Each structure stands twice: as C-alpha cells, then as structure tokens.
Amino acid sequence: MRIGLKSRMKDNEADEKYMRMALEEAQKAGQGGEIPVGAVLLKGNRVLAKDHNRCIQLNDPTAHAEILVLRKGGESLRNYRLTETVMYVTTEPCPMCVSAMVHGRIQRLVYGTLEPKFGAVESKFRLLDDDGLNHKVSVDRGVLEKECGEILKTFFKERRKEKVRSSEFRVRR
C-alpha cells in the first residue's frame, strides 16, 4: 500500500512540475496579447516540446499551444505518431486540439482548468468518451487548477478593462 501511495505522490509532483512549465508558457502568451494557454509534451522524463498560444503572432488560427507542441514533438521524434507521450495543458483543449491528440496517439492528457465555452474533454463536448475513436487518451484534470484558472481570469479581466478604456476614449473624441 505504501508503495502505491509513494508512486501517486511522485506522479503528482511530476505533474505539478510539468504543469508549472506549461504555466510559464501561458504567461508568455498573455504577455504577447494571446489567450494565455501553455502546453508541454513529454516522453518519459524528456521534454520534447513546450509552447504557448501564438495565433495572433503567427496569423494562424490553428497555432494553439497544443498543436504547436504536437508539431514540434513530431519533428523531435521524426514521427507523426507520438506514442507514450504525455501532454500537459493549462486549459481544457478545444475540439481541434483533442482531435490532433487522438491522431497523434498521445497516451495521456493532463490539464489544469475547465474551458466551459469550448472545452472538448468534459465541459462543452466529450470527444474522448466516444467509443468510435481508434485511440484512447487517458485524462487527468485539476493539476494546479487554481493557478491555471487564475491566469485566464486575470487576462480576460484586463482585456475587458482595456475595451472599456478604448470605448471611453472613442466617445470623448
């Protein structure tokens, strides 16, 4: 029994370590005016890739953090199949990203907070529950959930303030 508990504690520590890396990436996204989502792709103890949302920077609607790390991971492994990998993402992935994870055959998805408007794991859609998929991704949610949720809340709160200020400026002119 103790071995199992130690193993889980070790997994929790590792999950938090890599989620903190994803949070650092999310911070970079927010600083660049992007929605603050970060992701890390791991194989064993090796970080294959880490990135953040860069849709605006790259003028690419598919440049979500998850997609970017899947692409880098494929390049690193020289294979589009990313078997035995773990994806850490600060926010519940959208349908596009979940589908890409299934196609890439990642083994496990770990995410921090729910995305009620477009989350495709459990919030809005439940794509990974579909028995018709040819690959199953195991999922763990809630790692550093508070921190992951807070970065999004702060970003959108600031964004709303900026919109109010810019609309006030337009009215005064």
Active site members:
66
Please report the DSSP string for 85-148 in residue order.
Answer: EEEEEEEPPPHHHHHHHHHHT-SEEEEEE--TTT-TTTTS--GGG-TT-SS--EEEE-TTHHHH
Dihedral sign from CA coordinates of 88, 90, 95, 97: negative
Token pair for 129: 């529950």
